[in-house]
Homo-oligomer: A and B are copies of this chain.
Amino acid sequence: MSNVRVAGTGLTPFGNTPERTSRDLFAEATVAAFEDSGVPREDVEALFYGNFMGELSEHQGHQGPLMAEAAGVQAPATRYEAACASSGTAVRDAVVRIRNGEADVVLVGGAERMTNLGTAGATEALAIAADDLWEVRAGMTFPGAYALMAQAYFEEFGGEHEDLAHIAVKNHENALTNEKAQYQSAIDVEDVLEAPQVSSPLGLYDSCPISDGAAALVLTSDEYAEEHDLDAPVAITGTGQGGDRLALHDRDHLARSPAAREAGEEAYADAGVSAADVDLAEVHDCFTIAEVLALEALDIEQVGEGISAARDGRTTADGETPINLSGGLKAKGHPVGATGASQIAEVTKLLAGDHPNSEHVPDATTGVAHNAGGTVASATVHVLEEVGR
């Protein structure tokens, strides 16, 4: 099997641009990705595209062909939807396609337009990622669901809001150098604790924002990269996906994410690495508690210990395993369909030494991207490794 090289990455700024359509956003991200890659558009054999709520925010389904057009490529295009893990699943199928020799060059990415719905509208739209019959109609929204998970975690393992606050502080700190981030502003623990409560114990600064944005990746086979002398020093060497019951009340534990564990184990085995080899990771911190659960599912932290990781400095920029050096969903922003692909873009740049925060991880060779949908009913994990220039 061939490795899958990340030949180019492109991101729009993530933020509040309600007037921009998703086709507009995706076009911008792909211009950057093609420029970064040096790959001509004519070589693209397929587009794998993630989008979550286009039907509701833009009255637009069937975005695959539309986005191929926006990207300027003539190739079959498929839209993947797994809630907030939409472009994670798109990356996964792209990796399978390339490494088995079924394609040499593919475009992968995602986009989401959300802020045009307003905060209440976007929250309602996001809720379609939960079980409509048994959760949403009972009033559940995602801040409430993650608050339940946080309460369950505190009850089982201990911890308090202040521990979570350190995660938000860390991710805002990491985003200070990220010019594409929605928030480039430092906050402190006091700010988090004093922010308005959203759903106990989670407050405003425990929650990622509602965002517009797009991300694009040009992926190629080893053979193509070598033949065309591409500057593509990072490869996706492992892919994994896990699934769980959609509704929270059907789970055995609220403070575990077996779908992410399954995805992580599969991806590690696929790449031939273990959690101990992971030098850095981008994980799906839609809420601060989600970062804790992700670290434990990925075996970067032991179960019950992830809560102290940021507070004790193990996951800060100069810690043992820096987490969300991009700023994470929390500070970078979370345009849902773009998030999974954007994580791959960030890990690629960090490993290649092309990221403003690469200075914190000069010797890093192995990184992980963890993308989750709903209350982690869907999860994808990808392992990236530096394979050399």
Contacts and interface: CB of A to CB of B under 8 A. Distances in A.
A79 B81 contact: yes
Nearest to A263: B76
Interface string A279-316: 00000000000000000000000000000000000000
Interface stretch (A8-16, A190-198, A240-248): A240-248
- Count this chain's copies in the assembly: 2
A228 interface: no
Interface string A60-82: 11101110110000111111111
A303 B61 CA distance: 31
A133 interface: yes
A62 B374 contact: yes
9 nearest interchain CB pairs? Answer: A100-B100, A76-B241, A61-B128, A62-B83, A65-B377, A55-B55, A76-B243, A62-B129, A65-B246
A89 interface: yes
A53 interface: yes
Nearest to A131: B66
Given A76-B242, A96-B102, A100-B96, A128 B378 contact: no
Nearest to A89: B78
Given A59-B132, A59-B136, A65-B374, 8 more contacts: A21-B133, A53-B61, A62-B128, A62-B377, A64-B81, A64-B82, A65-B243, A78-B93
Contacts of A377: 62, 65
A65 B244 contact: yes
A130 interface: yes
Interface in A23-72: 46-47, 52-53, 55-56, 58-62, 64-66, 68-69
Contacts of A259: 76
Interface string A88-124: 0100110011001010000000000000000000000
A246 B132 contact: no
Contact of A245 (B21, B47, B65): B65
Nearest to A128: B61
Interface in A116-148: 128-133, 136
Contacts of A97: 96
* Most chain B beta-carbon neighbours within 10 Å: one of A58, A64, A263, A374: A64
Given A82-B78, A241-B46, A241-B76, A378 B65 contact: yes
Contacts of A76: 241-243, 259, 262-263, 378
Given A46-B241, A65-B246, A246-B66, A128 B55 contact: yes
A243 B68 contact: yes
A373 interface: yes
A77 B85 CA distance: 11
B83 A243 contact: no
A276 B230 CA distance: 42
A79 B92 CA distance: 13
Contacts of A59: 128, 132, 136
Contacts of A131: 60, 66
Interface string A156-186: 0000000000000000000000000000000
Interface in A369-386: 373-374, 377-378
A130 B62 contact: yes
A93 B82 CA distance: 15
Given A61-B83, A62-B82, A374-B65, A243 B132 contact: no
Nearest to A93: B93
Contacts of A250: 69
Contacts of A46: 241
Contacts of A78: 80, 82, 89, 92-93, 241, 378
